């Protein structure tokens, strides 16, 4: 494996291969999350019988059947719609999801581009999806869609701030925004002088991690923050006029971003691809697997909350972001900074 990675085939081909791999990985990640959590875990937790039935064992065929259904749906664009914007909106959401994966490291060298501004870039491009959502809601020329899109925009910008500010604590501790740098800082860290495990930042940044999870929940519009798509009042909000594959792109955007955020959280506070005592080529080999296990643990938390809590009210949602999460995040930055300078 070390030898294989050491072969230099030029940056152009390297980039091409990485792009193709990630291109396959994102829908796969979305499907894994959709399958494991949305279909199976939800069925078990809420006693839903439907998704457990198709194909026999645990309803393994459900997702394949869903895919085929989407493939056969007629492509309908309402005649009132702003056609060009309507068609472009799902693409913007998918682009936003794709761009996050540029910086997520799955090994010391297994990363598309290890940008110096890593985590800052990831959060910046993740917020591009707001534009896609607003475009979809506006272009649909539908009252439900517009209401849903505006709710989504108000929610996404309100929770963008706790998300950004929660990460600052990790950046302060690691002294870098580069994601591989953050992983290495955790791997080489020590808990009160004992370096057997490194220093996963969840021990010191548990407040930041909790804030990040809550904000990510809202950014992904998962219940209890799913007012933008509230199916019982807004009939899926900004997605109401989309059919077939165009609808599927919003699904890929949602679950692909959930995959990315879980990977990001795992990288920031759980040590990412690093395993204690594993270095060099072996880390490249084991990295993707280690990161996958950690990100599934984070995703489990996100979906556990989703399947357990009822929906918040719109004013409660805004109050929670502005009155609680942002002040706590600001305090967290200062306390982390104090410890960093002091110790």
Residues 284-323 that bind other proteins (CB under 8 A): 314-315, 318-319, 322-323
Collapsing DSSP to helix, strand or coil, 286 comes out as helix
Indicate which single residue of 78, 281, 288, 305 sits in contact with other proteins (rule: CB under 8 A). Answer: 78
Indicate which single residue of 41, 42, 45, 115 sits in contact with other proteins (rule: CB under 8 A). Answer: 115
Q: Does 278 bind other proteins (CB under 8 A)?
A: no
Collapsing DSSP to helix, strand or coil, 194 comes out as strand
Q: Which is nearer to other proteins, 171 or 290 (CB)?
A: 171
Q: Does 172 bind other proteins (CB under 8 A)?
A: yes
Indicate which single residue of 25, 52, 141, 207 sits in contact with other proteins (rule: CB under 8 A). Answer: 141
Q: Which is nearer to other proteins, 97 or 180 (CB)?
A: 97
Q: What's the closest the beta carbon of residue 230 comes to other proteins, in angstroms?
A: 14
Residues within window 118-137 making contact with other proteins, judged by CB under 8 A: 120
- Could you give the residue ranges of the DSSP H alpha helices within 47-142? 62-72, 83-100, 118-126, 129-139
Indicate which single residue of 135, 171, 220, 290 sits in contact with other proteins (rule: CB under 8 A). Answer: 171
Q: Which is nearer to other proteins, 156 or 262 (CB)?
A: 156
Distance CA 215, CA 100 (A): 17
Q: Does 246 bind other proteins (CB under 8 A)?
A: yes
Distance CA 120, CA 168 (A): 9
- Binding string, residues 204-243; x marks residues near other proteins by CB under 8 A: -------------------------------x----xx--
Indicate which single residue of 164, 197, 210, 301 sits in contact with other proteins (rule: CB under 8 A). Answer: 164
User: Is residue 208 within 8 Å of 169, Cβ to Cβ?
Assistant: yes
Per the DSSP assignment, residues forming a β-bridge with 194 are: 191
105 HSE (CA, 13 A, CB side): 25
* φ/ψ (deg, to 5) at 196: -65, -35
Q: Which is nearer to other proteins, 115 or 296 (CB)?
A: 115
Q: What's the closest the beta carbon of residue 277 comes to other proteins, in angstroms?
A: 27
Per the DSSP assignment, residues forming a β-bridge with 191 are: 194
Torsion sign across C-alpha atoms 332, 334, 340, 343 = negative
Q: Does 5 bind other proteins (CB under 8 A)?
A: no
Q: Does 102 bind other proteins (CB under 8 A)?
A: yes
Q: Which is nearer to other proteins, 71 or 190 (CB)?
A: 71
Burial class of residue 58, CB neighbours in 10 A (0-12, 13-18, 19+): middle
Distance CA 144, CA 318 (A): 20
Q: Which is nearer to other proteins, 289 or 331 (CB)?
A: 331
234 HSE (CA, 13 A, CB side): 23
Q: Which is nearer to other proteins, 128 or 301 (CB)?
A: 128
Indicate which single residue of 10, 46, 57, 79 sits in contact with other proteins (rule: CB under 8 A). Answer: 79
Q: Which is nearer to other proteins, 58 or 109 (CB)?
A: 109
Burial class of residue 241, CB neighbours in 10 A (0-12, 13-18, 19+): buried
Indicate which single residue of 35, 37, 86, 101 sits in contact with other proteins (rule: CB under 8 A). Answer: 101
How many C-beta neighbours within 10 Å does residue 76 have? 12
């Amino acid at each position: 494996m070390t030898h294989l990675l050491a072969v230099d085939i030029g940056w152009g081909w390297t980039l091409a291969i990485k792009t193709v791999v990630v291109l396959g990985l994102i829908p796969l990640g979305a499907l894994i999350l959709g399958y494991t959590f949305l279909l199976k875990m939800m069925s078990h937790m809420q006693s839903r019988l439907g998704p457990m039935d198709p194909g026999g064992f645990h309803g393994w065929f459900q997702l394949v059947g869903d895919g085929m259904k989407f493939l056969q749906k007629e492509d309908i664009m309402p005649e009132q719609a702003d056609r060009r914007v309507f068609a472009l909106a799902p693409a913007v959401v998918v682009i936003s999801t794709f761009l996050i994966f540029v910086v997520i490291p799955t090994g010391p060298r297994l990363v598309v581009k290890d940008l110096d501004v890593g985590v800052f870039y990831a959060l910046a491009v993740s917020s591009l999806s707001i534009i896609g959502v607003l475009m979809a809601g506006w272009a649909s020329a539908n009252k439900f869609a517009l209401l849903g899109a505006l709710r989504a925009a108000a929610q996404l910008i309100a929770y963008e701030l706790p998300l950004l500010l929660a990460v600052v604590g990790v950046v302060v501790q690691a002294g870098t925004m580069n994601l591989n740098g953050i992983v290495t800082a955790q791997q080489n860290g020590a808990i009160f002088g004992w370096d057997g495990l490194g220093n996963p930042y969840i021990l010191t940044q548990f407040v930041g991690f909790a804030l990040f999870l809550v904000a990510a929940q809202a950014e992904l519009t998962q219940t209890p923050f799913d007012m933008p798509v509230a199916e019982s009042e807004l009939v899926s909000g900004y997605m109401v006029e989309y059919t077939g594959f165009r609808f599927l792109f919003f699904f890929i955007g949602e679950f692909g971003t959930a995959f990315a955020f879980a990977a990001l959280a795992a990288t920031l506070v759980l040590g990412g691809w690093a395993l204690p005592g594993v270095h060099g080529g072996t880390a490249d080999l084991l990295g993707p697997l280690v990161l996958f296990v950690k990100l599934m643990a984070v995703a489990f938390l996100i979906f556990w909350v989703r399947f357990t809590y009822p929906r918040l009210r719109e004013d409660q949602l805004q109050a929670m972001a502005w009155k609680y999460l942002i002040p706590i995040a600001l305090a967290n930055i200062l306390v982390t900074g104090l410890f960093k300078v002091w110790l």
